[in-house]
Amino acid sequence: MDQFLSELRNWIWGLPLLMLLLGTGAYLTILLKGVQFRYLGYAFKQVIAKQKQDSQGDISHFQALMTSLAGAIGTGTIVGVATAITIGGLGAIFWMWVTAFLSMATKYAESLLAVKYREQDSRGEMSGGPMQYIEKGLGWKWMAWIFAVLGMIAAMSTGNLVQTNSIAEAVNHVWNIEPWTTGVVLCFLTAAVIIGGVKSIGNVASVLVPGMAIIYILAALYILVVNYSSIPHAFMLIFHSALNGQAAVGGFLGSTMILALQMGVARSVFSNEAGLGISSIAAAAAKTDSPGRQAMVTMTGALISTVIVCTMTGLVLAVSKLVGSYSQSGQLLNGASLAIAAFNTHIQGGEYLVTIGLVLFAYTTVLAWSYYGEKCCEYLFGESSVFSYRILFALMVIPGAALKMETAWFLADISNGLMVIPNLIALIALSKVIKKETKDFLIVVDREKEKRENSSGLGDT
């Protein structure tokens, strides 16, 4: 089964899909004249800006971003980076960067459309995302249904099985707790939050995500400062391996440029969800007065999750020189065990830091994806199906904890790859709408800037 899933994953994530992802990101970057670079500072200001009085939605800009980051900063930024390097070499990090910068435009476009075409359900909650902008923007209800089905499958695999499996593996590795036990505990903790809906998820994510991200980044920075002399060589190896592949060493079998590209793009998508369209569901719930404003906020997530957090993990693995090493039991270090070993080499108690960080990151990812899957389920079967879906999602945590790591990742990569296709087709088809909405919003932004400058000038006078 694993061999079949591996071959299917490799076929789906072949050159055509890689080019579609990178090509769409490049096309949107050119179409929007590099909006992700020109307005990056403004976008970060909007994350903590005061909500406008005419804003509509369920949660704040900050909570929407944290919910989106909860779905992104999880196993993808720790375990995902470790598996990418183990398979594709350090060159995979370079292709993660390239994909992330281009994908900021993709994430911007997804969120803009999600807010523009969102609607309010009978419970008073906002519903928006690829399903709505595919159906309402293009009139392709059949493709919206396909996306919703794939979104539910991805929520169960990417957002549930992989996360709980990684938590169980890390907890078992450090504390020798049986995966089934971890699964049962996680099941109850997950149910306790997701039954409260998006507001409950947003409240939990806005506390756990920034706190744990800061601690994790500071720990990684400490390791890099201690090993500062190894950093230039690490960057040289990343760039060289990205274009030439990486030679075999220890248990690492070596990689080609294509393999590095494949793993880099796939793991970038996994870590920031740009191209999947699924995180735009959280953007649609945000209180905002304009689709463009929330799109600006959401696009910063790709930079934070991939360019910052994933890079920290990748550099720590590079300077630790543990890629291709074996554990004391003779197992090749990969995934959570590789990340734990790298941090433990440089920080006393590093295994506990990574394990606790992974548990919290992955747990918030489970919460965020439960909401994404819930909205896909609601689109397909109506609002009456939501409670049953929440219970089923919580119960799926238990078998997810006991799955083999490789099987869980194969299923996640397959479902992610399939979900990308209808979403990117929709973004390209709606590119004129994206361009017009952006142009109108940037006129408002420039007026706000001019008004602030004039006010500042009067104050000085």
pLDDT digits (tens, 9 = 90+) for 277-330: 988 998 898 888 889 999 999 999 889 889 998 999 999 999 998 888 887 777
Cβ neighbors of 459 (< 8 A, separation 6 or more) are none
pLDDT-derived band at 461, boundaries 50, 70, 90 = very low
pLDDT-derived band at 348, boundaries 50, 70, 90 = confident
Give the CATH number, domain containing residue 275: 1.20.1740.10
pLDDT in tens, 212-240: 888 888 999 999 999 999 999 999 999 99
Query: Would 46 be classed as within a structural domain?
Result: no
Average predicted confidence (pLDDT) for the chain: 87
For residue 207, is pLDDT > 90?
Answer: no
- Number of folded domains that form the chain: 1
Query: Would 39 be classed as within a structural domain?
Result: no
DSSP 8-state assignment for residue 52? P
Residue 290 region, left (φ>0) first, then alpha (ψ -120 to 50), else beta?
beta
**Euclidean distance between CA atoms 179 and 57, whole angstroms:** 39
SS3 433: helix
Instruction: Measure the N-to-C terminal CA separation of the chain; round to a whole number of Å.
Output: 74
Greater pLDDT, 426 or 408: 426
Q: Which of 193-207, 316-330, 424-438 has the highest mean pLDDT?
A: 424-438
For residue 355, is pLDDT > 90?
Answer: no
Residue 249 region, left (φ>0) first, then alpha (ψ -120 to 50), else beta?
beta
Query: Would 14 be classed as within a structural domain?
Result: no
Query: Would 97 be classed as within a structural domain?
Result: yes
Is the Cβ–Cβ distance between 359 and 167 less than 8 Å?
yes
Q: Which residues are paired to 246 by β-bridges?
A: 255
Query: Would 160 be classed as within a structural domain?
Result: yes
pLDDT-derived band at 157, boundaries 50, 70, 90 = confident
**Euclidean distance between CA atoms 354 and 365, whole angstroms:** 16
For residue 173, is pLDDT > 80?
Answer: no
Cβ neighbors of 143 (< 8 A, separation 6 or more) are 134, 422, 425, 426
Q: Choose among 117, 122, 115, 125: nearest CA to 58.
A: 125
Residue written as token pair 């002399």:
229
Q: Which of 14-18, 77-81, 98-102, 450-454 has the highest mean pLDDT?
A: 98-102
pLDDT attached to residue 27: 97
Query: Would 396 be classed as within a structural domain?
Result: yes
pLDDT-derived band at 357, boundaries 50, 70, 90 = confident
pLDDT attached to residue 312: 93
pLDDT in tens, 135-144: 999 999 999 9
Greater pLDDT, 273 or 222: 222
Query: Would 4 be classed as within a structural domain?
Result: no
Is the Cβ–Cβ distance between 296 and 64 less than 8 Å?
no
**Alpha-carbon separation of residue 245 from 12, 89, 92 (angstroms):** 21, 7, 9
pLDDT attached to residue 114: 95
pLDDT attached to residue 69: 76
pLDDT attached to residue 72: 66
Query: Would 18 be classed as within a structural domain?
Result: no
For residue 409, is pLDDT > 60?
Answer: yes
Residue numbers of the domain that contains 430: 56-245+255-451
Whether this model's pTM surpasses 0.95: no
**Alpha-carbon separation of residue 92 from 221, 311, 384 (angstroms):** 21, 11, 43
For residue 458, is pLDDT > 60?
Answer: no
For residue 460, is pLDDT > 60?
Answer: no
pLDDT attached to residue 71: 65
